[in-house]
Each structure stands twice: as structure tokens, then as C-alpha cells.
Structure 1
Amino acid sequence: MLASLPVLAGIASTAIFAGSTVPMLGKALRTRNLGSYSLGNLLLANAGNLVHSVYVFSLEPGPLWALHSFYLASTAFMLTWYLRFEFLPQRRRGAGPDAAASTEESDQAQPGGVDHDGAAVGQGELGQDRRDMMVGRLR
């Protein structure tokens, strides 16, 4: 029984850690709003996971392999989604930190409205959460 206790603990912790990450992945994919994530953090997490793979996969197969494989996949997805939904669209618009600030200022100065189809206008290309925050500040 004692020999299987560490394996059972590994299985349980794998399920808990993976389960705690799934909502973040779901929200990131659903909203496509990854502006609160740091490119540097995502790059380092992926690099760390790749280096750590040398150690993990040198061990006998077990729950740690499953957990590490999940982390490899989830950090790779987050980096891919960040590049696709945050980084590359900003680069295409030519938006740097100064451009983002000037967009916010112009959006606050001209709060915009709704066109005849009910779509928001004058809001720039900010995420829905940022639009909601701006509307709250303008009221």
C-alpha cells in the first residue's frame, strides 16, 4: 500500500493542477483577450518546460509525465494564442506603447456611440473589458 500512495498522490495532484488550468485556457480561447499576459513570461514558461522535459522524461512513466505533458501543451497554446490574438494584431496596426496610449486618449475624448446596426463605433480596437471600463469612467 505504501508504494502506491505516492503514485495515488501524483495522480490526484495531476488532476488538481490540470483542472485549475483548464478554466484559464477556456477563457483565453473564448474571449481571445490575452492582454493581461506577458510575452516574456510566456516565452520563459515555454523555455523552462522544454528544458524541464529532459529531466521529466528521463524518469519512469507516471503521473508526472502526464502533468508535464499537459503543462507543455497549455503553455504552448497560451503562447500561440497570445501571438495570434495580441502581439501580431498590434504589430499589423503599428501599435506600440505610445500608439496604444494615444488610441485610449482619443477614445476617451470621443466616447463614440452605436451605428444603425447596433455596433459600437469610435471605440478603437480595444478589448470588451477595456471598453466596459472606459464607459464606466465616462459616466
Structure 2
Amino acid sequence: MDLVMLAGTASAVVFAVSNLPMLRKALRTGDVSSYSLASVVMINIANLVYSIYVFSLPIGPVWMLHSFYLVSCATLLVLCLRSVRGRGDDRRAGRDALPAEPVRG
């Protein structure tokens, strides 16, 4: 493996690993309230368009990194859409999205 391929592989692994804590927390808690749905949608659209370029390249570390981004961003999109749908269900049922404060007295 030459130096360029080694550098590409190492950076792909570091970038992917740096996203794991965010993704793990979102999957574990289901809390994606800090993410903008519009932003997550735009990221997914950009990833799909960028895929045309990436997958036209020879197989290499960039394929691994981009595939990871495709899967992780799509996962965040699914979680965001579920969250938005859940808030809509709460409103239709006449409930607030946040639990009521307990009465103290």
C-alpha cells in the first residue's frame, strides 16, 4: 500500500470514527431535537448528488468514507422524520410534545 492510499484510509477511518458518538447517541436516545430537519434533508440530497462523483472514482478509501456518510446521514434523516411525526401525533391528540411540570404544593 503506497503512502497516498495509507493516508486516505487513515483519514477515512478518523472521520468516520469522529461521527460515531453523535450517531450512537441519536440511535440510543432517539433524541434528535438538536438537529434541523431542513439541514439533515439538505445533507442527504448533497450526499446523493456527490455519490455520482465518488462512485465514478476507482474503489478506494473515499468509497468507504462516503458510504459511511450515506448510511449515517440517512439514519439521522429517518430519526428526524420519526421525531417530527411523533410531535405531530402529540399535537393532534391534544398533548404537548413536552411532559407537563409536576404540581408541587
TM > 0.5 between the two? yes
For structure 1, the 5+ residue unaligned runs are 114-139
Q: Match of 1:49, as an amino acid?
A: N
Work out the CA distance in 1 between the residues paired with 2:34 and 2:45: 20
Work out the CA distance in 1 between the residues paired with 2:42 and 2:4: 30
Displacement, 1:11? 0.3
Displacement, 1:8? 0.5
> What is the TM-score normalised by the length of structure 1?
0.67
Higher relative contact order (CA 8 A, sep 6+): 2
Q: List aligned pairs for 1:102-117, cutoff 5 A.
A: 107=100, 111-112=101-102
2:86 paired residue number: 89
Computing the radius of gyration from Cα coordinates, the structure with the larger value is 1
Aligned CA RMSD, in angstroms, stands at 2.1
Question: Percent of aligned pairs with the same residue?
Answer: 46
Q: Which runs of 4+ in 1 moved over 6 A?
A: none
Work out the CA distance in 1 between the residues paired with 2:76 and 2:46: 14
> What is the TM-score normalised by the length of structure 2?
0.87
Deviations 1:61-109 (A, max 9, x none): 000000000000000000001111x1110111227xxx96xx76x94xx
| Secondary structure, aligned partner of 2:7 | helix
Quick one: which of 46, 49, 54 aligns to 1:48?
46
For structure 2, the 5+ residue unaligned runs are none
